[in-house]
């Protein structure tokens, strides 16, 4: 029997959805720049090398009006953010410190 092993301690999905019909979307709210910053900072901290954190782009997560949006599993914590300061706070407090950033939670 194969052991069921979790591959990543925390798995982040950042919505990169781009809508062409004029409705709100995460892409128009800075998701691409945020994802680039998130990946760079996680790599800089060595969290991706350790296998603790995995970051993936996602399509629409269905909460664009609250966006931009990212969700962290296995906790199932949903966040919004405005800028790199918010992304850094999520990294420092949630990914490294294990504490939910209540002010950014949706």
Please tell me whether the overall predicted TM-score, pTM, comes out greater than 0.75 for this model.
yes
Transcribe 52-102 into DSSP letters: SEEEEEES--S-GGG-SEEEEETTTEEEE-SSHHHHHHIIIIIIIT----G
Q: Is residue 4, in this structure, part of any structural domain at all?
A: no
In a domain, 97, yes or no: yes
Residue 42's H or E segment, with its range, is: helix 31-44
For residue 37, the model assigns a pLDDT of: 96
The string of pLDDT tens digits covering residues 17-75 is 998 888 889 999 999 999 999 999 999 999 987 678 999 999 999 898 888 999 999 99
Helix (H, G, I), strand (E, B) or coil at 12: strand
- Residue 4's pLDDT is what? 44
Domain count, the chain: 1
Residue 79's pLDDT band (boundaries 50, 70, 90)?
very high
Determine, yes or no, domain membership for 49.
yes
Q: CATH code at 46?
A: 3.40.30.10
Q: Which domain holds residue 49?
A: 12-104
């Amino acid at each position: 029997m194969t052991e069921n092993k979790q591959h990543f301690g925390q798995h982040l999905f950042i919505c990169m959805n781009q809508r062409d019909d004029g409705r709100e979307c995460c892409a128009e709210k800075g998701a691409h720049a945020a994802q680039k910053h998130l990946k760079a900072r996680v790599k800089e901290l060595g969290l991706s090398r350790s296998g603790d954190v995995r970051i993936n782009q996602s399509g629409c997560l269905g909460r664009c009006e609250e966006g931009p949006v990212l969700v962290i599993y296995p906790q199932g914590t949903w966040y919004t953010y405005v800028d790199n300061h918010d992304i850094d706070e999520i990294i420092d407090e949630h990914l490294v410190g294990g504490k939910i950033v209540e002010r950014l939670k949706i």
